[in-house]
Every structure is written in structure tokens, then in C-alpha cells.
Amino acid sequence: MDDIILETAGLTKEFLGFVAVSDVSLRVRRGSIHGLIGPNGAGKTTCFNLLTKFLPPTRGTIRYDGRDITGMKPAQVARLGLVRSFQISAVFPHLSVLENVRLALQRQRGGSFDFWRSETLLRQYDDRARALLDDVGLNGYADLTAGELPYGRKRALEIATTLALDPVMMLLDEPTAGMTHEDVDRIVALVKRVSAGRTVLLVEHNLKVVSGLCDTITVLARGKVLAEGDYASVSRNPEVVTAYLGS
Ligand code: ADP
């Protein structure tokens, strides 16, 4: 099996002549936690949207798990196991936490409503949903409505609904944005836990968050790759320091 699960070549996105992502070549190792970081406006979100096919590139190619996915639709790449957290981050606020995960499981199995007819199936979905809530530390919150969850716990619910789609590779978009220190620590531990047996690409603004988490970090600035390596090497890179100080 190829050691590189995701690879881009010359990935470029222009918005009316403005180059937001410029000639980005990224290689993500299977089983790794790879950080894509950079100051505001670096092109992280655009990159994320290109990788998950929410935006078409102006130029360049994307290969995932041995296939060229450049021309594919988001749902197609999700079926191949490349799943972004954002796509189901529209948590249903009036449904319970458990129901949110159950719906995500149902979606993963093709959106059939058959489980409402079968007590056995319903129980299976419930058991799986509760196990996922356990995985993300939300077992005590199953019966609350999702809207009642504190912000940090809502992000954990997003991760649970992402896991329900059985991802091979998860793309997480700033899972700790806007969180308190305590919540950040909890999400960092959670990402570490759920990454077992998977590949994770983490888009982050915060260098500290990726420090204990990522095997490899790609630093973007003004749409270009500025540096790549482990945390120790990129955080010492003078160009990276300048890019962050200037942001
Ligand atoms: P980051 O996520 O690193 O903060 P973005 O990918 O959001 O960066 O943005 C990179 C650059 O591209 C910014 O200068 C932003 O203003 C610009 N940009 C992003 N999306 C669009 C768009 N739809 N139209 C025009 N410019 C855009």
C-alpha cells in the first residue's frame, strides 16, 4: 500500500486573478497527523476546500489513496473515506446529542429510514451512537439537545458525527478555534485518540495546538508553502517566525 495517502501537485486557486493558493505540493503520510498551519489569510481554508472538493482548483491535481480526485464531487470523495468535519458541522440544535450521531450513522449507511421499523436495528444504531459519544467524551450528554451543549462540547459532537461516517482520512478545520484553554486541551487529547488507525489533516492557526499533535507540519503563508517538517524545525524557522509575527 502506498505510504502517501494524499498528494497534491501544483495546487493553485485564483479568485478573480488574486492567487489565494499558489502551486502547493503537499504529501500526507498514511496514518499521520499532518498540520496545515499559517497566519490569517495564508490560504488554509481555501486549501481545505480544494482538498475536500468544495472548490475547484484553477490548476493542479489532487490524488487520494491512489486515485486522481481532482474532478470529483464532495460526496464522492466522502464515500472514498476522505471526510471533512465541517460538512456535517451543521449540528441539528433541536435534536438530542444522541439523535445527531444516530442521523450521521444513518447517512453513512445510505440514508435509509428502515431503522425506524426495526427495533433490533434501532438498538444497534443506538449502541454504536453511544459508543461514539463515549469515544469523544460526551457519554453524559446523550439526552441533552445539541443546542444546549457548551461550545467546546459541540465541537466534540462534530467529531463524533464525523467518526460516524467511518473516515479513513479526516480533515479537521480549526477544531479548537475560539475555545478556552481547558477545551483546547480536551480537543487536542480527543484528536490524538480518534486518530488511531486513521490519517488526520488538521488545519490550524494556532502553532501550540499542532505542537504536541502533528508528526508533520506544512506552513502556508500568502498561499505558498513556506516550510515543512516537525514542530521543532518549523517553529525555529526564521521565515515562519516572521510570518506569524507579521500576522
Ligand atoms: P486562511 O484560512 O489561511 O485564513 P483563506 O484561505 O481564508 O486563508 O484566504 C486566503 C486569501 O484568499 C485571503 O486573502 C482571502 O481574502 C482570499 N479569499 C478567500 N476566499 C475568497 C473568495 N471566495 N474570493 C476572493 N478572495 C478570497
Same domain? 57 vs 37: yes
Residue 205 Cα: closest atom of ligand 1: 3
Domain-located, residue 86:
no
Q: Are residues 77 and 174 in the same domain?
A: yes
Average pLDDT rounded to a whole number, residues 19-36 = 97
**Top mutation candidate among 15, 19, 55 for ligand 1, by most atoms within 8 Å of CB:** 15
How many A from CA of 149 to the centre of ligand 1? Answer: 30
Do 238 and 120 have their domain in common?
no
164 CA to centre of ligand 1 in angstroms: 30
Domain final residue pick, 166, 197, 224: 166
1 shares its domain with 77? yes
- Burial grade of 246 (CB within 10 A; 0-12, 13-18, 19 or more): exposed
145 and 188 in a single domain? The answer is no
Supply the pLDDT for residue 208.
Answer: 83
Cell matching residue 106: 444513518
In testing the pocket of ligand 1, which one of 11, 21, 46, 247 has its CB within 8 Å of the most ligand atoms?
Answer: 46
pLDDT digits (tens, 9 = 90+) for 40-60: 899 999 999 999 888 999 999
Confidence of residue 179 (pLDDT cuts 50, 70, 90): confident
How far apart are alpha carbons 73 and 67 in whole angstroms? 14
pLDDT over threshold 80, residue 1 = no
Domain containing residue 141: 91-166
Q: Which residues contact 241 (CB under 8 A, 6 or more apart)?
A: 235
Q: What is the ipTM of this complex?
A: 0.97
Residues whose CB falls within 8 Å of the CB of residue 240, separated by 6 or more in sequence, listed in order: 219, 221, 226, 227, 234
SS (H, E, C) 77-111: HHHCCEEECHHHCCCCCCCEHHHHHHHHHHHHCCC
Asked if the structure places residue 180 within a domain, the reply is yes
Neighbour count for residue 116 (Cβ, 10 Å): 11
Do 193 and 151 lie in a common domain? no
Quick check: CB of 20 below 6 Å from ligand 1?
A: yes
Task: Assign residue 51 a region (left: φ > 0; alpha: ψ between -120 and 50; beta: otherwise).
Answer: alpha
Specify the CATH number for the domain of residue 63: 3.40.50.300
Q: Which has more confidence, 89 or 117?
A: 117
Which residue minimizes the CA distance to atom 25 of ligand 1?
15
* Whether 174 and 69 share a structural domain: yes
Q: What angle do CA 129, 134, 140 make, to 5 degrees?
A: 100
Residue 49 Cβ inside 6 Å of ligand 1? The answer reads no
Ligand 1 atom closest to 47 (CA): 6
The pLDDT, as a whole number, for residue 75 is: 86
Q: Of 166, 183, 200, at which residue does a domain stop?
A: 166
Q: Would residue 75 count as lying in a domain?
A: yes
Total tally of structural domains belonging to the chain = 2
Query: Is the pLDDT score of 247 beyond 60?
Result: no
Please compute the mean of the pLDDT values over residues 191-217 and round it to a whole number. Answer: 91
Q: Are residues 74 and 31 in the same domain?
A: yes
**pLDDT tens-digit map of 100-132:** 999 888 877 766 667 677 788 888 889 999 999
Q: Which of 114, 141, 166 is the C-terminal boundary of a domain?
A: 166
Query: Do 206 and 222 belong to one domain?
Result: yes
**Whether residues 28 and 132 fall in one domain:** no
Asked whether the CA dihedral 201, 203, 207, 210 is positive or negative, the reply is negative
CB atoms within 10 A of CB 70: 17
Average pLDDT of every residue of the chain: 90
Residue 177 is predicted with a pLDDT of 84
